[in-house]
Structure 1
Amino acid sequence: MIEQLDYPTLQHLWWLLCSVVGALFLFLTFVQGGQSLLWQVARTQTEKDLVINSLGRKWELTFTTLVLFGGALFASFPKFYSTSFGGAYWVWIAILFTFIVQAVSYEFRKKPWNIFGSLVYEGFLFINGVVGILLIGAAVGTFYTGSNFQLDSNNFVTWTHPLRGLEAALSLSFSSVFNIAMGLFLVFNARTLGAMYLLNNIEMGEVPEMEPRLRQACWQNLVLSLPFCLLIVVSLLFMPGYGIVDDRGTVAMVSFKYFQNLIANPWLLLLLLAGLALLVLGAWKTAKSSETRGIWFGGLGTVLIGLTVLLLPAYNNTPFYPSKVDLQSSLTIYNASSSPYTLKVMTYVALGIPFVLAYIAYVWWAMNRRKIKIEDTGDRAAY
């Protein structure tokens, strides 16, 4: 069956698979969101230890999924990987740095010979939870607003802005506002998910004072995320976009491009609406009741929103990595992908994905079948 798939179908399939991994990463940013809530919801050392031990059992999953996302893009769309990572390297170095200090913090925060004190490492966790996610959101925003690169005939990338990718969040322009809105939405969404997860994972009977803080934080951060979500949705409905306008692959600016993409692919609109509804439902059940399973509604909603965000700028003849300075250098799933042979081989390998997901689900269940208790923060605690 795989041998019968034509090249465009394989290209669309692999962008979908990469998007699924990216959407799962957005769900797993509940770790970063929980880290950024540490000083808000945990007032005692015991409460801090509970929060960090709860998140410390999952932090590797977020980083591993981010690496998997990059690896999948490298294998299936190497031209994008070389252009973005080879040109916009300052933004990627900054993102990587925030994840490095996260790993260091979980490793050294409770070491007896820690000369900096736990407060410094808690600050590193906050930086990862806010700055790291903000920059990732800004980078995703460039899928819509474009980046400052040119490609020559040998596909050598020239970046035309000295900030090397950081301009996505630091320049004074509409595109920067859109990118920052994307980043801030992801930050507040991660904080919403983080509050949901901590309520689900920690034995609240042992720290009853922390439960109302988490429920309040969940609702507050959902409310704070909505203006940025509204700005993004309204912008996508009305902003011009980049489109392939002929059979030769010519790229030009197209009015209401992303609105046209939603009309051409109404299932994406359904994904977006379902995702937003599930996210709000999860936050409502968490904040306005004694429910502790809101993370599963909010998590699924986040995955659906992430899928929409990543698929919308790639399907319907749309460059997923447009160039603002040279439209014909823009990358599409057609001109940036690996060869048909490579994609077919990778598709055979991808048949094992359901088994990997089943193993991950089992490990998750095994780790979460008992809630985190105060006794887990003692000498035996990992973090």
Structure 2
Amino acid sequence: MILHELLNYDTLRLIWWVLLGVLLIGFAVMGGFDLGTGTLLPFIAKTDLERRVVINAVGPTWEGNQVWLVLGGGAIFAAWPQLYAVSFSGFYLAMFIILVALIIRPVAFKYRSKLESKAWRNSWDWALFVGGFVPALICGVAVGNVIQGVPFRLTPEMYIYYDGSFFELLNPFAVLCGLVSVSMLVAHGAAWLRIKTDGVLADRARTIGSIAMLTTIVLYALAGVALWHWIEGYSITSVINTTGPSNPLFKTAAVSQHAWFTNYDSKPWTLLAPALGFAGTLLACLLLRARRDNLAMLASSLGIAGIITSVGMSMFPFILPSSVDPRFSLTVWDSSSSHMTLFIMLVSTAIFLPLIVAYTTWVYRVLWGKVDAKAIEGGKGHAY
């Protein structure tokens, strides 16, 4: 009870905003190299044996990596119910496409090598490509739309109405963000393949990964330029009540040019996020070229963390702006669950999240090492 009183409402709201970012970064880093590897599969591996090596590089761990996606969705549902309601209803078709792509992946993993037929295996290889490329692209497109504002409105009774359509999500800035996501995860997947493979596959991963990392830097920079020149941001124009009720209609907000850069101007330390995005990705490229594979993977992870964090830093305290009326926008301070709910969830997270991290660390330690092509060819020790 004392701890509950010490962690006041505004502190818990801020903690859960940070935790949501951590979970999203966790999924992008841990599940991201799975998606990137799947996207690379038809292009980086030329023979059936090479493709089996690539599949076995992620086959034993991809399921565990999806835990971060489940945790992220659960955190949104429990900590930010209005965010969950708007995003999962407004982006329903996009979410459905992601779900279909993610369902295809395990089927492809299990059935791909069941038959010797070349056509059969090629079909499942392209299914794995779809299962990696589509979620990476759509997640980036979703972020691009969130930055621009989503066409939803609220009634005085807190009913939520979404006024947009699926094809409106495919606007130029959102597609650019989607390409940033794809190139970022492809680079991450290539860094992972450098760790898990050797020979010609590792050499191809080095080349493709370097190109993807440089592409990520260029596209990320272009997104920043577009954000400065053409995308309007949001700002709160009324007094901010950090401990007030979860009702977005109690505030007033406005749309203005360069508003997403206000936090960088008022709090210069937030510039560390985009700096980490650029520096981490560039460092990963240099380390990959220098064949420092483990360090390259770490640097790639830091680059991903910087890019995702920069979105949160730019938008804070907004978590889902409304393009219909800025007043309807959801923020950290007016769209969370109750104080008690956030506290109980925080205690549960403090218990279970370290267990998940510890178990994941143990699994990767046990499974560490390169995939043995000879063992695959001999049919020993590999399931895929």
TM-score normalized with structure 1 length: 0.90
* Structure 2 counterpart of 1:189, one-letter code: M
CA shift at 1:374, angstroms? Answer: 1.4
Q: Structure 1 residues 143, 296: closer, same or farther in 2, change over 3 A?
A: same
Matches within 5 A, 1:298-313: 298-313=300-315
Q: How does 1:1-20 map to 2 (within 5 A)?
A: 1-20=3-22
Partner residue, 1:243? 235
DSSP 3-state at the match of 1:103? helix
Which structure 2 segments of 5+ residues have no match?
240-249
Cα distance in structure 2, aligned partners of 1:302 and 1:345: 30
CA distance in 1, matches of 2:303, 2:71: 21
| Counterpart for residue 324 of structure 1 | 323
Partner of 1:194: 189
1:2, 1:347 within 8 Å by CA — same for their partners in 2? Answer: no
Aligned to 1:98: 101
Q: Secondary structure at the match of 1:125?
A: helix
Residue 255 of structure 1, aligned match among 237, 249, 257: 257
Q: Amino acid of the residue matched to residue 366 of structure 2? A: A
Distance 1:306 1:234 in 2: 17
Q: How much does 1:83 deviate?
A: 1.3
Q: Deviations over 1:303-338 (max 9, x none)?
A: 2322222343133xxx22111123222111122100
1:257-272 correspondence runs (5 A): 257-272=259-274
Quote the offset at 1:212 in angstroms: 2.0
> What residue is the counterpart of 1:172 in the other structure?
none
The answer as to whether partners of 1:88 and 1:159 remain within 8 angstroms in 2 is no
Answer yes or no: is the 8 Å Cα contact 2:213–2:284 preserved in 1: no
Give the equivalent residue in structure 2 for 1:128: 131
Distance apart, 1:376 and its partner CA: 4.2
State whether residues 276 and 302 of structure 2, in contact with CA within 8 Å, keep that contact through their aligned partners in structure 1. Answer: no
Q: Quick one: distance in 1 between partners of 2:181 and 2:213?
A: 11
Identity in percent: 29
Query: Does 2:213 match 1:222?
Result: yes
Q: Counterpart of 2:359?
A: 359
1:155-170 matches, within 5 Å, as 155-163=158-166, 166-169=167-170
Find the aligned partners of 2:267 and 2:364 in 1 and give their Cα distance: 34
Deviation of residue 277 (structure 1)?
0.9
Give a deviation string over 1:276-317, Cα, whole Å, max 9, x none: 21221112111x2232221111112212322222343133xx
1:150 corresponds, among 150, 153, 167, to: 153
Residue 126 of structure 1: CA displacement?
0.9
Residues 1:64 and 1:115: Cα distance change in structure 2 (over 3 Å): farther
Distance change >3 Å, CA 101–CA 116, structure 1 → 2: farther
After superposition, residues 111-126 of structure 1 pair within 5 angstroms as: 111-112=114-115, 117-126=120-129
| Further displaced range: 24-33 or 227-236 | 227-236
Cα displacement (A) at 1:189: 0.9
Contact map agreement 2:263 2:313 (CA 8 A) in 1: no
What RMSD over aligned residues (CA atoms) do the two structures have, in Å?
A: 2.0
Secondary structure in 1 matching 2:27: helix
Equivalents in 2 of 1:162, 1:32: separation in Å? 26
Residue 301 of structure 1 aligns to a residue in which SS?
helix
> Residue in 2 aligned with 1:291?
292
Q: How far apart are residue 132 of structure 1 and its match?
A: 1.5
1:71 is aligned to: 74
Deviations 1:179-215 (A, max 9, x none): 111110110111111111011112x1xxx22232111
Distance in 2 between the 1:86 and 1:31 partners?
A: 27
Gaps of 5+ in 1: 170-175
Check whether the contact 1:16–1:311 (CA below 8 A) recurs between aligned residues: no
Normalised by the size of structure 2, how large is the TM-score? 0.90
Q: What SS does structure 2 have at the residue aligned with 1:37?
A: helix
- Following superposition of structure 1 onto structure 2, how do residues 23-42 of structure 1 map, counting pairs within 5 Å? 23-28=25-30, 29-42=32-45
Number of aligned positions between the proteins:
366
Counterparts in 2 of 1:209 and 1:255: CA distance versus 1, 3 Å:
closer
- 1:98–1:127 CA contact under 8 A, matched in 2: yes
SS at structure 1 position matched to 2:161: strand
Q: Partner amino acid for 1:196?
A: A
Q: Does the Cα contact within 8 Å between 2:273 and 2:313 map onto a contact in 1? A: no
- Match among 134, 140, 154 for residue 143 of structure 2: 140
Once the two structures are TM-superposed, the CA of residue 67 in structure 1 deviates from its matched residue by 1.8
Q: Summarize the alignment of residues 339-358 of structure 1 with structure 2, pairs less than 5 Å apart.
A: 339-352=338-351, 353-358=353-358
Preserved CA contact (<8 Å) 1:23 1:304: no
Note the C-alpha offset of 1:131.
1.8
Query: Quick one: distance in 2 between partners of 1:154 and 1:119?
Result: 53
> For residues 5-57 of structure 1, what are the alpha-carbon distances to aligned partners after superposition, in whole Å with 9 as ceiling and x for unaligned?
22122111101001111012111311111111112221111111100011112
Instruction: Give the residue type in structure 2 aligned to 1:200.
Output: I
Mapped to 2, the partners of 1:58 and 1:190 lie a distance apart of 16
Distance in 2, matches of 1:149 and 1:79, equals 11
Please list the CA deviations of residues 62-91 of structure 1 after superposition, one character each: whole Å capped at 9, or x if unmatched: 432112111111110011101111232111
